[in-house]
Structure 1
């Protein structure tokens, strides 16, 4: 899957809003607001359940990494997530 298609699929899921559990949350981290070098993808099976996380890091902007973005799509698909949230801002490391 190419980068643009992956980003569009993620954005489409986020746009739907909260639809219930399971929930995937995506948070980007980086040295500044214009570059994200780390992403944490969280999975919550049900309300009140502990969140499981998967972390990915790169030296370049991770939002432009095809492999990582495709992996996030696979996590969303395989988890059967009803909701996907994403913080639009890059959080400081």
Structure 2
């Protein structure tokens, strides 16, 4: 993929998010990482109607690059959103937590042992709590 193509996908995703709510289905895009500097996971869920759970949900992982700027990952995200017919895209402009899943990668109710950065940290503001 050329640099120009990669930029086109990043711009397309950003433009969809800037438009705000344009109806359902809504694609929710969330970036996760071991800290607040590099996203190693992006999760996209499709919400079909008000009050519905996200379904389907897809996840992509980037071990060596940042998922927010990785050309192949952003292309896959945009293609998935378009394939699902999402009319709106909801996202935040930051990494919102650890890429590991509670109850799957580590026990329920515990902090992730692999991502100490997120221990006692508010995932939405990034500020330390408690």
Number of equivalenced pairs: 93
In structure 1, distance between residues paired with 2:7 and 2:37: 18
- Match for residue 75 of structure 1? 80
- Match for residue 87 of structure 1? 92
Would you say 1:30 and 2:18 are equivalent positions? Answer: no
RMSD of aligned alpha carbons = 1.2
Q: Which has the higher strand share?
A: 1
Greater Cα radius of gyration, structure 1 or 2:
2
The 5 A counterparts of 1:19-58 are: 19-52=22-55, 53-58=57-62
Query: How far does residue 74 in structure 1 lie from its aligned partner after superposition?
Result: 0.7
Q: Normalising by the residue count of structure 2, what TM-score does the alignment of the two structures yield?
A: 0.67
Runs of 4+ in 1 over 3 A off after TM superposition: none
**Does the residue aligned with 1:87 lie in a helix, a strand or coil?**
strand
**Contact conserved, 2:31 with 2:42, CA < 8 A, in 1?**
yes
Q: Structure 1 stretches of 5 or more lacking a match?
A: none
Q: Structure 2 stretches of 5 or more lacking a match?
A: 99-130
Any idea what the Cα deviations from partners look like across 1:13-42, whole Å, max 9, x if unmatched? 001001110000100001122210001101
